[in-house]
Chain A
Amino acid sequence: MSKKIFLLLVFAFFFVIIIFFYLLIIERDPSNLPSQLIEKEVPIFNSKLLFNDEKFISTNEFKNNITLVNFFATWCAPCREEHKYIIELSKDSSIKIIGINYKDNPNKAIVWLKELKNPYSKVITDPKGKIAIDWGVYGIPETFLISSKGIIKYKHVGPINKIVYRKFKKKISNLKKK
């Protein structure tokens, strides 16, 4: 009887060890941070537009098109790197790209967008980083994919590179099919 219990204990112990090593071995990206907002509606926020100081009201914005929301700033070097991919994504006229200029100097941002070209249909200012917190942003650049019903479908933390660009393309075409 006690032998059975002992065997069971040994088995349970090795089971835990195996799970532990399994979790060590499988490919996990530690920078892959959990996101709370996937499959949720876009946060409601109001701010101003970068170019003409007009008011921006989020509830009017996300209902008709597939939208990308990209947090960027001129002081952020990876944002400069990923910019060409955002321009590439903006060539698809059926999607809308909204840029959120995070904790930045508006004048610098305007110059920066003139230099690198402006792929955004609207650029919103977030001078104190409050909108970013509503979107659960860890650090810029971050890019969100939003369905035409205003639901957040995907989020990427960090710059967009070739692989991430293809991922976005694929996800956009999947959304279009629905």
Chain B
Amino acid sequence: MNKPQPVNLQLTSMKFPATAIISILHRASGVILFFLIPFILWALAVSLKSAAGFQQLHAFLTTPVMKFILWGSLSALVYHFVAGLRHLLMDFGFAEGKQSGKVSAVITMSIAVIIIAVLGVLIW
């Protein structure tokens, strides 16, 4: 006899460990950065072309909506950077255990949140 199989997973009943969250966010931020490349290059082109372009870009990026988008974009970069550093430390054998991996995930997340908050202060 077939046992009744679970039809769908109840995602809300599952707990994601800190290590899983930090990992998927690293992936998500990497993909976001990929999609940001053309905008960064466009900004570089405009800012280097002429003093007027530099001024215009500055004015554009300091509008309320763009400030928010700028902050979000830089947050993806900061997060990817900090979580990437955790990867590089693990390459050297640090925090590879189950418990130490969890601790380093929480520390990494805290550092990222702090830097992102400081960024927000700098932008506004």
Asked if A pairs with B, the answer is no
User: Residues on B close to A: CB < 8 A?
Assistant: none
User: Residues on A close to B: CB < 8 A?
Assistant: none
